[in-house]
């Protein structure tokens, strides 16, 4: 009895592998590029600091995100050189992005325990499982290109990320072009690649479609809360202890990607983003804001980061833009008292967007997208878990001619 069950199972496994193998030939493979903080980072930490953070020998320890090393995250702080406008890790620290080309580090951003406890951390796991149910094989038909999300595209280029990305897409090409589906910051990371790294001949040969989801093309007001008091989801800010906010703020102020995602003047114009009784701050007077929070170096980082992608260049491939709308989204931070800019938690005025990214920033893709899919009342993180979105990506990947 047992033996025949085994045989049946073995036969079924054989049939299913041969099915997968033969349908592989037909698939346009899908590459995922995750967003800010949405893939793992490991580090070798050889400093005089906290003993529980230090690593030994050639060992790289998971830092983002590990319960055990959650308070070692300050070793992920970047050091800015104001002369060269470049970033390095802290002395004694080396950071690695594990899992390039696989999907596991975007399916589960943290250690096994964290992923089990906090399902909300795993943004792309349902997307990968969906494609696997459609016969896609992990690491072959569906892959991911995680990157060091602390950095903006110019630094990623210097680090060699785009050369690896180009090689990965060429490897995935199986006679059918590759579909690139990106989330949030990953969409800007990919826009830079398509616009400034590869040629149109290369794109015509290898890229079937670019599917950016919830892309903050023109930045997001929520980013400013990171510099001011520590980045946290706007909805449940009251339950986060203040020392954790302070801790995260001191890290966020060093991240190039945070400046890269600040609201851009050409999109937010004269809109008041931060308000105190005596001063209004718009995207046109950041310099003043950084002065008033006693962080003048922030202005230099900010200027350098906003210049990384100039304007909103056309990616030059068929683009299918997807985003959520009608979710209350931070639009203005209001401080009661003038001195509060340094210490208080502001009141947040909400406007339209996907909960994290403002509508006017999401909408920029209308300029060049072949198709835009706007999904009502689905927020920034749920957009990659939406079944409508998964079916749309599958449709794009499998259609002979895409509309």
Question: Is there binding between residue 338 and ligand NAG (CB under 6 A)?
Answer: no
Region of 35-43, 215-223, 272-280, 301-309 interacting with ligand NAG (CB under 6 A): 272-280
Q: Give the nearest distance from C-beta 358 to ligand NAG in angstroms.
A: 14
Q: Which of 235, 326, 373, 398 binds ligand NAG (CB under 6 A)?
A: 235
Q: Which stretch binds ligand NAG (CB under 6 A): 3-11, 30-38, 274-282, 287-295?
A: 274-282
Q: Which of 99, 216, 218, 346 binds ligand NAG (CB under 6 A)?
A: 346
Is the CB of 197 or the CB of 293 nearer to ligand NAG?
293
Taking alpha carbons only, the member of 152, 295, 150 closest to residue 227 is 295
Specify the residue, 242 or 367, whose C-beta has the smaller distance to ligand NAG: 242
Judge whether 26 and 175 are in contact, CB under 8 Å. no
User: Measured on CA atoms in the order 375, 379, 384, 385, is the torsion positive or negative?
Assistant: negative
Q: Copy the structure tokens of residue 77.
A: 């702080």
The interface region with ligand NAG, picked from 76-84, 211-219, 276-284, 310-318 by CB under 6 A, is 276-284
Residue 176 φ/ψ region, left for φ over 0, alpha for ψ in the -120 to 50 degree band, beta for the rest: beta
Give least dist CB 378 to ligand NAG, A.
8
Considering only 40-48, 106-114, 313-321, 340-348, which stretch makes contact with ligand NAG by CB under 6 A? 340-348
* # residues contacting ligand NAG (CB under 6 A): 21
Tell me which stretch binds ligand NAG (CB under 6 A): 5-13, 26-34, 47-55, 278-286: 278-286
Task: Select from 280, 285, 300, 326 the one that contacts ligand NAG (CB under 6 A).
Answer: 280
Tokens of 219: 């930045």
Query: By C-beta, is 125 or 382 nearer to ligand NAG?
Result: 382
Nearest to 224 by CA among 358, 74, 23, 58: 358
- Report, in Å, the least distance between residue 271 CB and ligand NAG: 8
* Cβ proximity to ligand NAG, 196 vs 280, nearer residue: 280
Report the nearest approach of ligand NAG to the CB of residue 247 (Å): 8
| Residue 158 beta carbon to ligand NAG: minimum distance, rounded to whole angstroms | 32
The verdict on 330 binding ligand NAG (CB under 6 A) reads no
When binding is defined by CB under 6 A, the residue of 242, 366, 391, 395 that contacts ligand NAG is 242
- Which C-beta is closer to ligand NAG: that of 90 or that of 380? 380
Q: Which is nearer to ligand NAG, 153 or 330 (CB)?
A: 330
- Residue 318 or residue 324: which is nearer to ligand NAG going by CB? 324
126 contacts ligand NAG (rule: CB under 6 A):
no
Q: Which is nearer to ligand NAG, 99 or 230 (CB)?
A: 230
Residue located via tokens 């592998």: 17
Alpha-carbon separation of residue 87 from 25, 305, 309, 319, 382 (angstroms): 42, 11, 17, 31, 32
Closest CA to 181 of 378, 377, 373: 373
Of 42, 225, 329, 381, the residue at the interface with ligand NAG (CB under 6 A) is: 381
Distance CA 284, CA 274 (A): 12
User: What is the pattern of x (binds ligand NAG, CB under 6 A) and - over residues 61-80?
Assistant: --------------------
Chain positions contacting ligand NAG, by CB under 6 A: 233, 235, 242-243, 246, 272, 275, 278-280, 336, 342-344, 346-347, 355, 379-382
């Amino acid at each position: 009895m047992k033996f025949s069950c085994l045989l049946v199972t073995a036969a079924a496994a054989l049939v299913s592998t041969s099915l997968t193998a033969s349908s592989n030939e037909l698939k346009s493979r899908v590459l995922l590029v995750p967003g800010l903080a949405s893939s793992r980072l490991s580090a070798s930490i050889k400093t005089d600091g906290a003993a529980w953070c230090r690593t030994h020998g050639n060992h790289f320890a998971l830092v983002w995100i590990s319960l055990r090393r959650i308070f070692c995250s300050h070793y992920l702080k970047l050091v800015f050189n104001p002369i060269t406008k470049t970033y390095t890790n802290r002395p004694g620290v080396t950071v690695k992005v594990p899992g390039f080309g696989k999907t596991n580090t975007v399916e589960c951003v943290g250690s096994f325990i964290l992923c089990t406890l906090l399902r909300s951390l795993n943004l792309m796991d349902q997307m990968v499982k969906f494609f696997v149910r459609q016969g896609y094989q992990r690491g072959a038909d569906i892959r991911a290109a995680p990157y060091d999300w602390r950095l903006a595209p110019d630094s990623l280029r210097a680090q060699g990320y785009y050369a690896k990305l180009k090689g990965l897409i060429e490897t995935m090409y199986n006679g059918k072009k590759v579909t690139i589906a990106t989330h949030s910051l990953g969409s800007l990371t990919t826009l830079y690649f398509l616009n400034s790294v590869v040629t149109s001949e290369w794109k015509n040969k290898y890229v079937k479609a670019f599917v950016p989801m919830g892309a903050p093309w023109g930045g997001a007001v929520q980013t400013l809360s990171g510099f001011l008091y520590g980045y946290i989801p706007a909805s449940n800010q009251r339950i986060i202890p203040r020392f954790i906010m302070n801790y995260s703020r001191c890290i966020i102020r060093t991240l190039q990607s945070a400046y890269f995602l600040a609201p851009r003047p050409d999109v937010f114009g004269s809109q008041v983003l931060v308000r105190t009784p005596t001063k209004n701050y718009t995207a046109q007077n950041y310099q003043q804001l950084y002065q008033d929070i006693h962080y003048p170096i922030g202005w230099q980082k900010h200027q350098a980061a906003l210049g990384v992608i100039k304007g909103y260049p056309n990616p030059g491939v068929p683009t299918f833009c997807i985003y959520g709308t009608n979710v209350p989204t931070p639009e203005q931070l209001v401080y009661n008292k003038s001195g509060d800019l340094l210490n208080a938690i502001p009141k947040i005025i909400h406007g339209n967007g996907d909960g994290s990214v403002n509508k006017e920033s999401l909408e920029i893709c209308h300029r060049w997208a072949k198709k835009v899919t706007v999904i009502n009342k689905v927020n920034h993180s749920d957009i990659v878990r939406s079944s409508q979105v998964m079916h749309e990506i599958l449709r794009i990947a499998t259609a002979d001619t895409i509309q």
